A = this chain, B = another copy of it.
């Protein structure tokens, strides 16, 4: 019998990071540790004057690495067969696009005394929407210049991405921009730090983070050309030389754990660390993504991920933001779409608006239980899921939430349910768009806390998407994905498919569509789509006078 081998995945989410120690032979999670970021509100640095601002403290990432990895190694020591020497590899994923300004040595400016208090020097968290004007401008200039740079991101650039944020920094915080020798995505920042290679030019950057978010594509020679960048700003063109010309998939080794860090966490030096990636992409791998399978990562926002083998011809999909070779599974084209806010909308409702009658104990659970008793359509409510803008298929951060159908008897569970339904209608809109472009969604696997904890959300998704909702076996699919790539770079498996066969499973519980509910939601979805198109597109010029009437008619039918 072989001696056991172990792998560690480290996953940096929006509010906390976690590490898991995994048995590389079967994917079993032997130990886990969570570190909530200590800075800001729930780990996010906010500006009370501008809801678009969302930054993070880079030092929190480093503190989180030490805390969580040290914890799981210590916990591992109590497990039979484990020893630190048997850890074969490690993989790190983070949120993104979360660019960080760094100096020539790759040190985050925020960690230097001079910029300690400067919000622009922090990590620009994925959900920071301050750069919406720059994003529109990039879209406009790219379309006019007829360059191909937007073809892989739905023909619209986002305020959540690399170039928008950096350009916004140049405009609004020139001192920070000037001091930034380069900019590094969060996942590269962490792998660079732990492998002792933070040099902006020589570190191995992630293709997954570079992909559409920095408009990197081998087809056009990597990052966008200087001529194009100069049209945005000469300073951005200058920056191009201080970024990167190659990007790597996560089956490559980014580097090896350096001695002083290894020592601090109780591991031997030299453990190979996979090239980093974005959390959702590792999560898809940890959930069992494969051709025909859509993995939905249900978190504060959602990420929808699919893969298409390189050999199949994949057309560009308008309004779907990331089509990047190797971003999820090496050798396949990754499709990434998603919704800017899902769990965040439920959390907002609970944190800001939950009535006292539901706020005792666990408000989410209370609202879930009450909403689960309602029938589809019974409330007469319909919502749009745009409280944080719309990532796909409209790609417009300057959109907001909407709720229609309230009477004098509308209750909190009804509103909560309408918000859940809105996110499901948003999810359906993405699936329909992907299928319209030839990629069939044959299976849906969900992962993330919501998928495990909320029968309400899962049943509504099953009914609205009209497909069985399967749930990933692991509660930490992103971290598990990290461990999978750790086991690949550690030589346990040759590729993702081989590793998934051993390390990934589904939960036994499957939520199946309920016929009557599917029928009601099939009547509600066209109304959602009407609001979606009326408020979200400039092409719509129909009427809306039917909306309230039809909701009332559906309500009447549901109550009978």
Question: Which residues of chain B are near A535, meaning CB under 8 Å?
Answer: 404, 544-545, 547-548
**A400, B540: Cβ atoms closer than 8 Å:** no
13 A/B residue pairs, CB under 8 Å, sorted by A: A51-B407, A352-B411, A352-B412, A353-B415, A355-B359, A356-B359, A386-B548, A388-B407, A400-B407, A400-B551, A401-B403, A403-B406, A541-B543
CB within 8 Å of B: which residues of A?
49-51, 341, 344-345, 347-348, 352-356, 359, 380, 386-388, 398-412, 415, 534-538, 540-545, 547-549, 551-552, 559
Residues of B near A51 (CB, < 8 A) are 407-409
Which chain B residues lie closer than 8 Å to A415 at the CB level? 353
User: How many angstroms between the C-alpha atoms of A405 and B415 in the bound complex?
Assistant: 15
Chain B residues, CB < 8 A from A542: 541
Contact status of A406 and B400, CB under 8 A, knowing A354-B356, A355-B355, A535-B547: yes
CB-CB < 8 A to A386: which residues of B? 548
The answer to whether A404 and B402 touch (CB under 8 A), given A353-B412, A534-B545, A544-B544, is: yes
In the assembled complex, the Cα of A538 lies from the Cα of B542 at a distance in Å of 10
Look across to chain B and name the residue whose beta carbon is closest to the beta carbon of A401: B406
Other A-B contacts than A400-B551, A403-B404, A534-B543, 19 sampled, CB-CB below 8 A, are A344-B408, A348-B410, A352-B412, A353-B355, A353-B410, A354-B355, A355-B356, A386-B548, A388-B408, A400-B404, A400-B407, A402-B404, A402-B405, A535-B544, A535-B545, A535-B548, A538-B543, A540-B545, A541-B541
A396 to chain B, nearest CB (A): 9
Known: A537-B545, A545-B538. A400 touches B409 (CB 8 A): no
Minimum C-beta distance from A135 to chain B (A): 14
Contact between A398 and B549, CB atoms less than 8 A apart: yes
Chain B min CB distance to A494 (Å): 43
Name, among A403, A407, A534, A552, the residue most crowded by chain B CB atoms within 10 Å (CB to CB): A407
Chain B residues with Cβ below 8 Å from A541 are 541-543
Complex Cα spacing A405 to B387, Å: 8
A553 to chain B, nearest CB (A): 9
Contacts of A355 in B (CB 8 A): 352-356, 359
Q: Which residues of B contact A537 (CB under 8 A)?
A: 545
Complexed CA–CA distance, A536 and B399 (Å): 22
**Alpha-carbon distance between A353 and B537 when the two chains are bound, in angstroms:** 32
